[in-house]
Amino acid sequence: MTLAVVAGATGMVGTRIVERLAEEGWPVVGLCRNPPAEAPHGVDYLAVDLMDGAASRKALSSLTRATHLFYAGRAPHSEGGESVEANMAMLRHFVEPIEAVAPLAHVHLVHGTKYYGCHLGAFRTPAKEDDARHMPPNFYFDQQDWIVERAARGGWHWTISRPNIVFDFAPKQGRNLITLIATYALISKELGLPLSFPGLPTTYRVVTECTDAVHLAKAIVWMAGEPACADQVFNVTNGDYYRWENLWPRIADHFGTPEGPIRPLPLAEFMADKAPVWDRIVARNGLVPTPYAHMALWPYGDFIFRPTWDMMSDTTKLRRFGFADVVDSEDIYLRHFESYRAARIIP
């Protein structure tokens, strides 16, 4: 009898992992700070803060049937960036109490292409899973080294996924490129402005990639059930590439506004005072009231729209091991916009 336990179960990726597992008939326990009021069929939620070691040990000691762990958690950003210590503590507080009481078989970690230093500057592309590491710190390195050593000692297996720019239909999650672009486009239109690309001219033309959260979850659950994937790392993207210069006109057309010239705007600065404009859009169109902060994390947009280098992951290994699904990235942007429109979150 298997039991899957998902950490970060209400986050963008964790939500989709939980749903995929439940759809495939796995019994699932989702870990999160604030369990949802309604749970998918077959899913139990457990309130736990993995930053608290003592509370984690107490809460997780009951999971004596757990066999497969899925870690989609991440420590909150601090002023110094992403803390290695905090992220390592959360992972240990997740794995160690369960390993002590359960017949653990497999642990999956959701990482990302920051492993390759894509956030630091140009890197070798298409990035392959065994590419050399950049100068640390990078908590992905520490977590991977720890899980490899721990699995070897405990006699269980592990896998790691490395997606890039993950997005989904995920209301109330501002770190989502779909709602960020939609909010920017709608505010531009409300102000009588064309839809100008807010990044750098070079960024407009370089090759980039993304990962739909549903696609990612399907690949992750497949890895957990495929013996050949044991103790392997896999890049997981939609399987294609795109350039903003091709996608941006389609986005402008989708929102019924002309495309404007490229205008590099620090979004965190220029969009900081636009909440009243958003509230006006919501009120006039009778939309579901959604706080401005839940629609867009503007510094995240600045991170996405500034690289002047290609963002390309090689997904050959994933296909070679047997996962051949692909998603059309340009089309899925537009499909997600429509999902938000159907939910009356955007007009």
Q: How confident is the chain (347 residues) per 10-residue block, as mean pLDDT?
A: 95 97 96 89 92 98 98 84 95 98 98 98 98 98 98 98 97 93 98 98 98 98 98 98 98 98 97 98 98 96 97 98 98 98 98
- Same domain assignment for residues 188 and 138: no
Q: Return the pLDDT at 239.
A: 97
CATH of the domain at 13: 3.40.50.720
The answer to whether residues 187 and 82 belong to one domain is no
Is residue 322 assigned to a domain? no
35 class by beta-carbon count within 10 Å (0-12 exposed, 13-18 middle, 19+ buried): middle
Do residue 225 and residue 279 come from a single domain? no
User: Is residue 172 domain-shared with residue 67, that is, in the same domain?
Assistant: no
Is residue 289 within 8 A of residue 183, CB to CB? The reply is no
Same domain, 11 and 70: yes
Per-residue pLDDT at 59:
97
The pTM of this model reads 0.97
Domain check: are 133 and 217 in the same one?
yes
Residue-level pLDDT at 75: 94
* Cα gap 195→179, rounded to integer Å: 15
- Look at residue 40 in the predicted model and tell me its pLDDT: 74
Question: Is 337 contained in some domain?
Answer: yes
Task: Tell me the two tokens of residue 288.
Answer: 């579901």
How many domains are contained in the chain?
Answer: 2
The range of the structural domain enclosing residue 230 comes to 4-165+212-235
Taking the CA atoms of residue 259, residue 264, residue 268 and residue 274 in that order, the dihedral angle to the nearest 10 degrees is -40
